[in-house]
Each structure stands twice: as C-alpha cells, then as structure tokens.
C-alpha cells in the first residue's frame, strides 16, 4: 500500500501536498479522483477509520458477513466512471422491498392500494379520501414534515399506512419537529410515489417496463474487497492514504493549510472536508453554535432456521411499535450459510444509553408479536455506528448552511453526507454532489478507462430507498 507515513513532531519541514481530503467515504474517494483529473499530482486522503469506504462497513464471523447499512448499487452508477474495476465484483440481484404495516402484514413498499386503502373498507376509504380533500382545501401552509406529508396523502393514510411512525423512527424525532427544508428537498418521493392521485394513475395506467439499470449487491465477502480496488486505483494515480489517523488541528496559512496530526503535520494549498461539520470547526478552533445532531445506529446480526413469515429480502418497519427500522436478508442474495438464513436489523438508538441488549430484546418481542421469524433465531453479533446520518430538527438545515459558509470563508469546502449535513440515500447521489462541489463536468459518453489493479483473493460471482446510512 502507498500509505503516507508521518515523522515525529520535531521534523524540520512539513510534508507538502497539492490537496488534502478529510474522509475516505464515497464522497472523499470521488473527490480524490476528481482532483486527479483536474491536475492535482499529490493528494492525501485522511480518515480516522482504519478502513476506507466510510460508513460502508461490514462485520463477519462464523461464515456470515453483515453490513451496518444497505448494500445495493446500480450498474449505471456514476461511481463506476471513477472506479470501473469495481463492476465485476458486484453480485447481480433482483431485490424486492416490503414493509411491515400496523395491521401486522408485510406488503408493498412504500404504499399498497390493496392493503392500505381497499382493505380499510368503505368507511375507512371515506376517511382516507376525506382527509386528503380536507388537507388540500384548508392546509394553506406547510411548516414541517407532518404538514407536508398530510398535504399529499392526508392524515388518515399517513397514520394507517404507518408512514408517520416509520419517518419518526428513521429521523429520530416527531414529524412536526422535522425541518420543512428537508421535507421539500428529501421527501418529494411522497408526492411522486405515495400520493393518492399517483397511486390511482398507476393502477389505471400502469407503465410498461422498459430497459432499466441492473441492481447489484456488494461482494459476498463484504465491502473490503470492493474498496480495496478503489484504493489501489487512486494510489496508482498518485493519491496517498493516511488511515487510522486522528487530526489534531487545522491552521490557516498564507498560501494554504497545515493539518496537524499526532505524529507530524502536512500542508496543502487546498483542503476539502467530508467529515462531520462540527469536527472541522473544532479542528479550526471555530466557535460552534448548538449541536447538529446525528443518529446512532445499532446493527443486530442474526442467523435463522424456520418460517420467517415474508418473502421480500428487504423489509421496513412501518408498524407503530418496535425500534427497528429495516432488515435485510443477506442469504436471499448470497445463499444460506451452514444451512441457515442470515439477516441484519437496523435499530435507531433514539435515547442515550440505549444498548444492544435492549435493541435485541425489543426486536425479538416485536417480531414474535407480528408472526415473524418463528423458529430458531440466534444473534451472531452486533455493531454500533455513531454519526450514521443527520437529524433534521427544526432550524438544523439553516444552522448547517451557516457553518458551511463560515468554513468556505476560511477556504475549506465542506460537503457530502456529513460535511454538508445532507442525507444522501445512494452512492449515486454522493458521487454527483462531490463532483458538483468540485466543479467537475461529467462526460457520460466517455467514461474513464479502468486502471489496472491487483484483484483481491476472493471475487464474487458474476428505488426508492429512504433509510440507509448510505445506500451504495
């Protein structure tokens, strides 16, 4: 590996680079690739994690491999124009998404005409349509996510479908506390996929399925083989990595920046950040305003033998109870291990002190109450991820914008899921936003050629998503 090594603090001169990128997640990796294309010859990517890929991390034991978040990519992702050698490692899949409803059934995601509307009966349907008409006639203002959602699908369907419970669980706060700026920017899928008008139109005039992109999963062995190739790609293009390194401070120089580390310092004319905004502010000794909250995500990893009670590989929890928000059955994509199915469950730790033991007990009780996983359910392991994704409480978006502007005035560009306090549901979004931040003009018809790299030892056989810490 061409990782950077730093001398002791008494070294006379700092190591000099053209650019420093803080964070080695998708946004950081794409940034390094773009900077190379723009002519930077010496680039350093720094991350406190000892691995690259950011929150795309896995956990393996006893022949099982699990992820803390989602594992799905697409074969037309712009990420592949930077790292085309990743494509052969992906596993082609045909994912189906379901959701557990308050009525204790697993049905279509995100809304089902049959189960959410028709099964409500005549009176229920009158309430559903009546609440939509009422919202359209009398709700003149939209000040938060609840009012936004009610306008599009009505209060009755919002409750009956479980969508309100799911969004509260996902964002960690009640809908009336979620910033309207987020609702208009990140919740337009409600008007596009869940509004009554569009549901009826899709029922009466279904679209013909044309050619679409292929859905892909990360390699069976996990994310490490995938991002190892991305790292080798960048290293062959002159990028260096400092992993497992915690920055101490950032000094503004006359002609750039000095990044102080525990065992030395580096300088660069330009500095880009994809790590949490508050961390960069602290490094710059900037005055910080009230905390920008993020979620803590607990991953529970199970193996199972018996009747699981549903057939979809990915299920979201739209019921009114239960702390878990999504489960992914990996064995549907990779095959069983030791003759058992295995799956991961994501739980948002909404209050301090919420433990893995509490999350497991809650999931087992909720699964039993809803007729799921009847059989031998064994916890294989768990994982805790802090700073999973932003919590968009009221005023947070504006606060983040002000902090980003202050950093920009200092000469630091901050963007990405954490650097921009901007929930990014897919690697596609992360890639495009990183390119935009750096002024990269994409030429879709002329993707870059693959860089020759050494393949890992093991190679795998050749949506609307709203809840991943980053869907790849």
Q: What is the pLDDT of residues 326-360, one digit of tens each?
A: 999 999 999 999 999 999 999 988 776 789 999 99
Contact 47, 202 (CB under 8 A): no
Cα 456 to Cα 459: distance, rounded to the nearest angstrom: 7
Residue 272 confidence class, pLDDT cut points 50, 70, 90? very high
Cα 361 to Cα 358: distance, rounded to the nearest angstrom: 5
Quick one: pLDDT at residue 195? Answer: 59
Q: Which is higher by pLDDT, 271 or 202?
A: 271
Distances (CA, A) of 333 to 90, 100, 250, 342: 11, 21, 44, 10
Rg (CA), the chain: 23
Where do we find the tokens 């190379």?
36
Contact 248, 260 (CB under 8 A): yes
In the chain, DSSP finds a helix count (H) and a strand count (E) of: 15, 19
Residues in the chain: 472
Residue 234 has pLDDT above 80, yes or no: yes
| High-pLDDT (> 90) share of the chain, % | 61
Quick one: pLDDT at residue 397? Answer: 81
Where do we find the tokens 């009466």?
204
Quick: pLDDT tens for 51-100: 999 989 899 999 999 998 778 899 999 999 999 999 999 999 999 999 99
- Reference 329, options 267, 377, 397, 279; nearest CA is 377
Beta strands in 103-182 (DSSP E): 106-108
Tokens of 31: 């940034």
Sequence-distant (6+) residues with CB within 8 A of 44 are: 4, 17, 19, 20, 21, 239, 240, 241, 242, 266, 268
Cis ω on the peptide bond leading into residue 110 (within 30° of 0)? yes
Strand partners, 251: 258
Residue 449 has pLDDT above 60, yes or no: no
DSSP assignment, residue 84? G
Q: Which is higher by pLDDT, 160 or 458?
A: 160
CB atoms within 10 A of CB 384: 16
CB atoms within 10 A of CB 356: 17
3-state secondary structure at position 291: coil
Contact 267, 16 (CB under 8 A): yes
Quick: pLDDT tens for 355-395: 999 999 999 999 999 999 999 999 999 999 888 888 878 78
């Amino acid at each position: 590996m061409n990782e950077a090594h730093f001398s002791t603090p008494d070294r006379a001169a700092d190591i000099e680079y053209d650019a420093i990128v803080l964070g080695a997640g998708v946004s950081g990796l794409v940034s390094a690739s773009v900077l190379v294309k723009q002519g930077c010859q010496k680039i350093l990517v720094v991350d406190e994690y000892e691995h690259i890929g950011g929150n795309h991390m896995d956990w393996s034991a006893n022949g099982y491999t699990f992820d803390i978040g989602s594992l799905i990519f697409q074969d037309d992702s712009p990420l592949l124009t930077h790292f085309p050698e990743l494509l052969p490692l992906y596993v082609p899949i045909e994912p189906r998404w379901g959701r557990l409803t308050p009525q204790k059934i697993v049905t279509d995601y995100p809304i089902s005409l049959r189960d959410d509307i028709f099964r409500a009966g005549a009176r229920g349907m009158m309430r559903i349509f009546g609440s939509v008409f009422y919202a359209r006639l009398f709700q003149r203002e939209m000040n938060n996510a609840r009012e936004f959602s009610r306008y599009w699908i009505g209060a009755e369907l919002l409750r009956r479908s479980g969508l309100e419970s799911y969004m509260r669980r996902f964002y960690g706060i009640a809908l009336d506390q979620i910033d309207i700026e987020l609702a208009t920017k990140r919740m337009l899928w409600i008007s596009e996929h869940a509004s009554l008008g569009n549901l009826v139109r899709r029922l009466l005039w279904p679209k013909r399925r044309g050619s679409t992109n292929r859905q892909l999963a990360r390699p069976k062995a996990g994310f490490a083989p995938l991002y190892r190739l991305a790292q080798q790609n960048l290293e062959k293009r002159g990028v260096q990595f400092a992993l497992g390194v915690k920055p101490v401070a950032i000094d503004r120089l006359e002609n750039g920046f000095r990044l102080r580390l525990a065992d030395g310092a580096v300088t660069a004319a330009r500095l880009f950040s994809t790590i949490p905004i508050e961390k960069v502010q602290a490094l710059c000794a900037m005055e910080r305003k009230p905390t920008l909250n993020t979620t803590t995500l607990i991953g529970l990893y199970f193996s199972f033998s018996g009747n699981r009670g549903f057939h979809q590989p990915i299920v979201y929890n739209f019921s009114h109870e239960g702390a878990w928000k999504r489960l992914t059955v990996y064995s549907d994509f990779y095959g069983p291990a030791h003759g058992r199915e295995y799956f991961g469950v994501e739980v948002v730790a909404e209050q301090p002190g919420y433990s893995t033991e509490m999350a497991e007990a809650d999931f087992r009780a909720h699964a039993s109450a809803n007729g799921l996983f009847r059989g031998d359910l064994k916890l294989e392991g768990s994982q805790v991820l802090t700073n999973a994704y932003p919590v968009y409480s009221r005023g947070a978006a504006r606060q983040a914008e002000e902090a980003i502007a202050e950093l920009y005035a200092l000469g630091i560009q901050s963007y990405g899921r954490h650097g921009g306090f901007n929930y990014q549901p897919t690697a596609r979004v992360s890639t495009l936003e990183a390119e935009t931040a750096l002024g990269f003009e994409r030429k879709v018809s002329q993707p870059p050629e693959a860089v020759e790299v050494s393949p890992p030892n093991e190679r795998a056989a050749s949506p609307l998503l709203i809840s991943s810490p980053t869907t790849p």
